[in-house]
Amino acid sequence: MALMLGVDTGGTYTDAVLIRDECEVVASAKALTTRHDLAQGIGAAVAAVIGQGKVAPGDIGMAALSTTLATNALVEGRGGRVALVAIGFSTGDLDRHGLREALAGDPELVLTGGHDHAGAEAAPLDRAALEAWLPTQSGVSAYAVAGRFATRNPAHENAAAEMIREITGRPVSCSHHLSARLGAPKRALTAVLNARLIGMIARLIAKAEGKLAALGIEAPLMVVRGDGALISAAQAMDRPIETILSGPAASIVGARWLTGAGDALVSDIGGTTTDVAMLRDGRPAIDPEGAKVGPWRTMVEAVAMRTTGLGGDSEVQVIEEGLRGGVTLGPRRLVPVSLMALDDPERVHRELTAQLRRETPAETDGRFLRVTVGSDAGGDAGGLGPRDTALLERLGEGVRPLAGALRTRAEASALKRLVARGLVQVAGVTPSDASHVLGGLAARDNEAAGMALALMARRRTGAGTRLAADAAAPARMIVDQLTRQTVLALLETAFAEEAADFGLSPEMLARHALLQRGLDRHRGLVRLDAGLAVSVVGLGASAPSYYPAVGERLGCEMILPDHAGVANAIGAVVGRVTIRKSGTVTVPAEGRYRVHLETGPLDFADPGEAMAALEAALGAAARAVPNAPGRVISI
């Protein structure tokens, strides 16, 4: 297995890399991520890297995939329609712990049942209520099942899951399969998010496997987990939540492999997010509280990473208050105007030209829509309300301007819901467009980017004056703002890693006036200096464009390694297969040791026998997990 293929499907680009003997990059290639059909981008990148490497597809011994798809979906609030079956919860639990917010209007059912901390049944499972409720649900793509103390006895979760599969035929996420820890509300949240991602990740993997087979690659496909380890494609489809931070985790592994760095901050800028993590002694730290993506704290074991909604495709918003005006970036991702124009250049150019001819600027200037129903990155249209369905049908196919697409204020809310479900994409000005205007990038439609920035320059500040005189000025504002927000993300991560107690949160410290003056190298009666005392490894295709200014601002070494633009794909292929299983032994009474297994609690009189039984069960479960042949496996 000397030749290995790594693929990373990001929000904007799909990267591919060939590595020989885990020590030499043979070839690397990029292709645009085709969100309407991910197979096209994957196929283009893989075909290109095979051609560049001049290798036979049959010589590839393993393929590995990392992806930001799950991470981006949670940051942007996308995914399939799900239903939660909460066993032994109270209705108040759903509000207190954010479950109803995570459901975002999707259905839930609170059932009597569940167990106590020792694994004994607290109340019988209300099977009749579940059986009556399931046929009333429509448009649900997957179900999440969570029971009180299910990690101590999963009998009710398993019974409910079996009923759901028999009646609906839909996938089911059981909370005890995702974590062995207590904390039922957080496990329930993790199960909900897992269920929401199932369809999206299954489509991605199916497309990837199909395209690899079509290209003559028969190697098994592995997927990067959020802690940087590799899991089988089957595991990833069953537990897609474990692939959140997959792309960022792969980038950390790739950063170490590319640079050999011991202690450093790693900052990976993608299209949607900037992901910052700390390398200590060459190893990424694991977040003991579980991965946090967007507003959600899960029970998924992943690298300790701060994910910020800041990337090359971040939405640019004009600050119209105040005398000077300005811009802010993110957290929402937009399709860059320069990229949307490639789909329908005639229509996009015609509309931008017409908008520039109008005397009065409008908020919808430079904005376009595209329906993505049925695409790999798009959501499921099931369960939509009549207003949302009507708007989706009226938008039709192809690219169209946002101006005139909405007839009422109510339709603005409907559009927001469609975008959140991943059914419609919105295009607008992004840092990528700004870089095209300034000459840092030239891969897309420069003319469309220039017209969109010229429209933005006409927006008015609080003083009634134009934001800028020409397209280049707002482009420079945008790039400078990206530098500022990246600096803040790195400082926040550094302060979070500091052992010292400064009395303020990392966010407040990073923004503190004294620290910012220190970055300016203030010289007065007081001399202030501030910066980072460790190196920063900058990754991502756009890192060479943006990160030198970040390193200068922070007064630190900025390492921009060769192949930084495909670090995720490299990290995917140089990782190891690591299978972790955990379990619990409790002492419900003196002289009795209870092992909590998938089949239910089992008591022993001897603690050694109890631990041996648990280790045997966990070892058997770990060894039964499919993995890539010939890889180094850690259990």
Q: Could you tell me whether strands 558-559 and 577-578 are parallel, antiparallel, or unpaired per DSSP bridges? A: unpaired
Predicted confidence at residue 618, as pLDDT, reads 84
Is 94 contained in some domain? yes
In contact, 214 and 43? CB cutoff 8 Å? yes
Q: What is the pLDDT of residues 316-374, one digit of tens each?
A: 999 887 767 789 998 888 999 999 999 899 999 999 999 999 988 888 999 999 988 65
Cα separation, 19 vs 3, in Å, equals 6
What is the C-alpha separation between 542 and 549, in angstroms, rounded?
13
Give the pLDDT band of residue 80 (cuts 50, 70, 90): confident
pLDDT tens digits along 217-274: 999 899 988 888 888 888 889 889 888 888 778 888 899 999 999 899 999 998 888 9
Which two structure tokens, joined as six digits, stand for 173? 């996420």
User: What is residue 95's predicted lDDT score, i.e. its pLDDT?
Assistant: 81
- Domain presence at residue 254: no
Helix (H, G, I), strand (E, B) or coil at 203: helix
Q: Picking from 104-108, 113-117, 285-289, 303-307, which range would have the lowest pLDDT averaged per residue?
A: 285-289
Chain mean pLDDT for the chain: 88
256 contacts 98 by C-beta, under 8 angstroms: no
Whether omega for the bond prior to residue 331 falls within 30 degrees of 0, making it cis, is yes
User: Last residue of some domain: 170, 197, 224?
Assistant: 197
In a domain, 416, yes or no: yes
> What angle is formed at CA 120 by the lines to CA 118 and CA 124, rounded to 5 degrees?
145
Last residue of some domain: 179, 197, 215? 197
Angle of helix 431-438 relative to helix 446-457, nearest 10 degrees? Answer: 110
Q: What is the pLDDT of residue 228?
A: 82
How many CB atoms are located within 10 Å of the residue 512 CB?
A: 16
* Contact between residue 269 and residue 543 where contact means Cβ atoms under 8 Å apart: yes
pLDDT at 529: 96
Among 197, 216, 238, the domain boundary falls at 197
Residue 541 pLDDT greater than 90, yes or no: no
Better pLDDT: 348 or 418: 348
Radius of gyration of the chain (CA): 26
Most distant CA pair in the chain, distance: 85
Helix (H, G, I), strand (E, B), or coil: what is residue 623?
helix
CA distances from 383 to 82, 101, 105, 387 (A): 10, 18, 10, 12
d(CA 92, CA 228): 37
Measured distance CA(30)–CA(8) in Å, rounded: 10
Look at the chain and report how many structural domains it folds into. 3
State the Cα angle at 508 between 77 and 334, rounded to 5°: 30
pLDDT reported for residue 633: 47
What is the DSSP code (8-state) at residue 285?
P
Asked whether residue 289 is assigned to any structural domain, the reply reads no
Q: Does 504 or 630 have the greater pLDDT score? A: 504
pLDDT of the residue at 406: 87
**Which stretch of DSSP H or E encloses residue 332?**
strand 326-333
Q: Answer positive or negative: Cα dihedral of 467, 472, 473, 474.
A: positive
Give Cα 193 to chain centroid, integer Å.
12
- Joined together, the tokens standing for residue 459 give 């927006």
User: pLDDT tens for residues 296-308?
Assistant: 788 887 888 888 8
- For the chain, the distance separating the N- and C-terminal CA atoms, rounded to the nearest angstrom, is 21
Average pLDDT over residues 47-61: 93
- Tally of CB atoms within 10 A around 576: 12
pLDDT of residue 625: 65
The token duo for 598 is: 């998938």
How many residues are listed for the chain in this entry? 635
Q: How much of the chain, in percent, has pLDDT values that exceed 70?
A: 95
Instruction: State the number of CA atoms in the 13 A half-sphere of 356 facing the CB.
Output: 17
19 touches 573 (CB < 8 A): yes
What is d(CA 575, CA 257) in angstroms, rounded to the nearest whole number? 10
With respect to residue 314, please indicate whether it lies within any of the assigned structural domains.
Answer: no
109 within domain boundaries: yes
Closest CA relative to residue 186, chosen from 150, 162, 228: 150
Which residue segment(s) compose the domain that 433 sits in? Answer: 332-460+470-477
- The CATH number assigned to the domain holding 108 equals 3.40.50
How far apart CA 100 and CA 254 sit, in angstroms, is: 37
The strand pair at 592-597 and 82-87 is best described as: unpaired
Provide the 3-class DSSP secondary structure of residue 230.
strand
pLDDT tens by residue, 521-534 = 999 999 999 999 99
d(CA 294, CA 210): 31
Q: Tens of pLDDT along 598-630?
A: 888 889 999 999 999 998 988 887 777 655 544
Q: Say yes or no to pLDDT of 380 above 60.
A: no
Q: What is the per-residue pLDDT across 127-147, written as a single tens digit (0 to 9) for each? A: 999 999 999 988 899 999 999
